[in-house]
């Protein structure tokens, strides 16, 4: 595991193409949320901000996938993103993708790995 990683959820909490898990992160603009989902067996992490307008993607907490379970979808304007990369796949995102958040899956746990642009907010203590 990478130094200063922060636990997000148990691996079993993420089902392929199913609900995601939100968690707090800090950015240069202040505190916000990020999320993790599982797609094609792998855990992916993104900042919870639509590239089109900057609103949170999920229409209910943890609801990021469209009905097919194949795309991440912004509940506000319908922008869709490829879950394996965060790349814009259609709608008003116009080629702009989601911002990747580094995550790791180890020993039955999903971990957020802070970096200089996406870090643990002051209220969350990393596990070193």
Residue 119 lies in a domain: no
Q: Is 12 helix (H, G, I), strand (E, B) or coil?
A: helix
Rounding to the nearest 10 degrees, give the CA dihedral for residues 39, 44, 45, 48.
-20
Q: According to DSSP H, which parts of the chain are helical?
A: none
Angle at CA of residue 52, ends 72 and 92, nearest 5°: 75
Residue 120 lies in a domain: no
pLDDT band at 124 (very low <50, low <70, confident <90, very high): low
**CATH number (domain holding residue 80):** 2.102.10.10
Residue 118 lies in a domain: no
Residue 122 lies in a domain: no
Residue 45 lies in a domain: yes
Residue 15 lies in a domain: yes
- Considering the entire predicted model, what is its pTM? 0.92
Question: 51 near 88, Cβ under 8 Å?
Answer: yes
Domain span including residue 59: 6-112
pLDDT of residue 120: 87
pLDDT tens-digit series, residues 43-73: 999 999 999 888 999 989 999 999 999 999 9
Closest CA relative to residue 37, chosen from 57, 9, 18: 18
Q: What domain count does the chain have?
A: 1
């Amino acid at each position: 595991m990478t130094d200063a990683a922060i636990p997000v959820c148990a691996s079993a909490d993420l089902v392929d193409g199913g609900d995601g898990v939100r968690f707090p992160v800090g950015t240069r603009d202040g505190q916000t949320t990020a999320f993790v989902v599982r797609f094609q067996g792998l855990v992916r992490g993104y900042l919870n901000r639509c590239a089109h307008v900057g609103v949170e993607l999920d229409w209910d907490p943890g609801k990021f996938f469209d009905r097919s379970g194949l795309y991440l979808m912004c509940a506000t304007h319908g922008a869709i993103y490829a879950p394996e990369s965060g790349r814009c796949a259609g709608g008003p995102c116009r080629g702009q993708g989601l911002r990747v958040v580094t995550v790791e899956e180890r020993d039955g746990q999903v971990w957020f790995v802070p970096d200089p642009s996406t870090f643990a907010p002051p209220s969350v203590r990393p596990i070193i």
